[in-house]
Amino acid sequence: MTKETQESSIEVLKKLGFQPIRTAVRQSIAVVDKAKKGLRNVFITNWPRLNRHLLGGLQPGKLYIIAGRPGTGKSAFSNQLIFDLLDNAAKLNKKMVVFYWSFEMPGYQQIMRTASKDTGKQMSDLYSVDKTLGEQDFQTFINSVSKYVKYPVFFQNKPKDVSFIESACEKFTQLHPDVQILNLIDHTRLVPGTEDVEMKRLNSLSKACMRMQANMGTINLLLSQLNRNIEKEDRAKNQYQPMLSDLFGGDSIGQDAHVVMMIQRPHDLYGITARYCGEDPRGLLALHLEKNRDGILGMIPYDFDGAKFTITERKSKSKQ
């Protein structure tokens, strides 16, 4: 093949959408150089081990799934996550907005849960179940929740279909192209659609997320259920560790996700007392990264106080 023929062939391939390897090489050098200079566009959490697994934090244009059985702490985990992301973004002068598609519980209840963590009061205290909340504690609660007014978080409590979600993001991006959108959808099975089969609706949601990520660079965080397979008796010998096949609609949303995180609480939910993945199971919230396209797989242990919705990353054994 002559040089002229080779160049002609390359041009034909380019028109067909092919990328020559030298372009990929140049791009890889640029990415590493940008990272070396601290210029990567990542949104960091307050959990160092999670940041390391996610190669620095959450990244624009990616789909993250947090899955678990009911009551495992998905909402508590995601609530703490988004406020940490917003705090850290503000410190770095990054603009971010959270669209909280809270279809499972109203926004005020999400705020009450967050305030429970801040004030040290259980939800039963805030609801005056056993005794009336004292005036001083009430003022403490008001002071606690008032600080959240400053956060760019917008709740949509009424279930909306994927076309509405996508359209809302498009309209906001047109007005504020420099603001990073994070969609938090709680949870996937509550997103309505015209499809008569639930799996098809989940697939439509997943594909809409991919379009938003490609066209607007959104970060999409979906809370999802696990199916009942994890609760079968024969799983007890494996300490109920979740797998990708436990993800409800796994074929629809699991394949499109960049990261799939599964929450398990072995002691609180199943009474497991033996060490779980090398950790004391008491008070343990185990975050299993079962899919991670670019980063590390494995389990990250957290201490979880369910009464006050407080989640603290356990120190790694090498530092203990």
Is the pLDDT confidence value at 320 over 50?
Answer: no
Average pLDDT over residues 53-67: 95
How far is Cα 171 from Cα 297, in angstroms, rounded to an integer? 36
pLDDT reported for residue 187: 67
Q: Are 89 and 182 in contact (CB under 8 A)?
A: no
**Segment of 28-42, 50-64, 187-201 carrying the highest mean pLDDT:** 50-64
DSSP secondary structure code for residue 293 in this structure: S
How far is Cα 190 from Cα 209, in angstroms, rounded to an integer? 15
Average pLDDT over residues 298-302: 96
| Domains of the chain, start order | 1-38 (no CATH), 41-319 (3.40.50.300)
Least confident piece of the model among 85-99, 127-141, 176-190 = 176-190
pLDDT reported for residue 251: 61
Handedness of CA 96, 97, 102, 108 (dihedral sign): positive
What is the per-residue pLDDT across 264-290, written as a single tens digit (0 to 9) for each? 999 988 888 999 999 999 999 999 999
What is the per-residue pLDDT across 173-211, written as a single tens digit (0 to 9) for each? 999 999 999 999 986 666 656 555 566 778 888 889 999
Query: Tokens 């028109």 belong to which residue?
Result: 15
Q: Give the full edge-to-edge strand order of the sheet including 259-264.
A: 153-155, 96-102, 180-186, 219-225, 63-68, 259-264, 284-292, 298-305, 310-313
Q: How confident is the model at residue 250 (pLDDT cuts 50, 70, 90)?
A: low
pTM, rounded to two decimals: 0.86
Average pLDDT over residues 75-102: 94
Q: Cα-flanking dihedrals φ and ψ of residue 302, to 5°?
A: -130, 150
Neighbours of 186 (CB within 10 A): 21
